[in-house]
Amino acid sequence: MNLGAVQKDADNHPLLLEFDMDISGFTSNWAYCDRLSTYFARMISHNRSDSLLYSNLFSSALNELLETVYRLHKPSGSFVCSVTRSGASDRIALTIPVDAEAAGFYRDAVEILNQGDVASRYHKALFAEGPLQQNIGLLELAVDYAARFSIEPADGDAIRLVAELTLEAPAA
């Protein structure tokens, strides 16, 4: 695992924390989703007005993203998760190795998330008969955390999924 230093993304969000690991290592144990989300949340929450609440909210949100990646990825390649911040806004960027099927899932999921009326889509998916849709965690983030999503190609057979969250009110 490589923890990043101070960098900035395209919109001038300073880098808070980053890990880079092989996807096969990450997906070797489901518990890594919880462990990594808890670690990240504790590391970035110390300067928030209610650091315990912020840590819990951030951990839950990141865990949903990591669980989605755990289920949908290409079997090999580099998996990178970075968190940047600007004011009250945190940006989680996941570089995910994907095959054509997984890339299609992420593109379709982001398109659905950006079409509006996400709350009714989430409720419909949540209470549908049969197994849950694979995008249920992303829908939950859009509804419960007002997360905004984007997707872009990354180097090699990978995509970059970006979730932007505001988990506390901006400072006055």
The DSSP secondary-structure symbol of 91 reads E
CATH number, domain with residue 58:
3.30.565
- Kindly report, residue by residue over 66-119, the tens digit of the pLDDT: 999 999 999 999 999 999 999 889 999 999 999 999 999 999 999 999 988 899
Q: Does some domain include residue 141?
A: yes
153 — pLDDT class (breaks 50, 70, 90): very high
Q: Is residue 5 part of a domain?
A: no
Average pLDDT over the chain, rounded to whole?
90
Residue 2 lies in a domain: no
The count of domains in the chain is 1
Q: Does the pLDDT value for residue 4 go beyond 70?
A: no
Domain that holds residue 111: 15-166
- Number of H helices and E strands in the chain, helices first, is 6, 5
139 belongs to a structural domain: yes
Q: Are 83 and 72 in contact (CB under 8 A)?
A: no
Q: Is residue 145 part of a domain?
A: yes
What is the rounded distance in angstroms from the CA atom of residue 44 to the CA atom of residue 36?
A: 12
Which is nearest to 121 in space by CA: 112, 111, 130? 112
Banded pLDDT at 156 (limits 50, 70, 90): confident
How would residue 15 be classed by pLDDT, with cut points 50, 70 and 90? very high
Contact (CB, 8 A) for 138 and 149:
yes
Q: What is the mean pLDDT of residues 35-47?
A: 95
**1 falls within a domain:** no
Return the number of other C-beta atoms located less than 10 Å from residue 164's C-beta: 19
pLDDT tens sequence across 115-135: 888 999 999 999 999 888 899
Assigned domain for 10 exists: no
122 within a domain of the structure (yes/no): yes
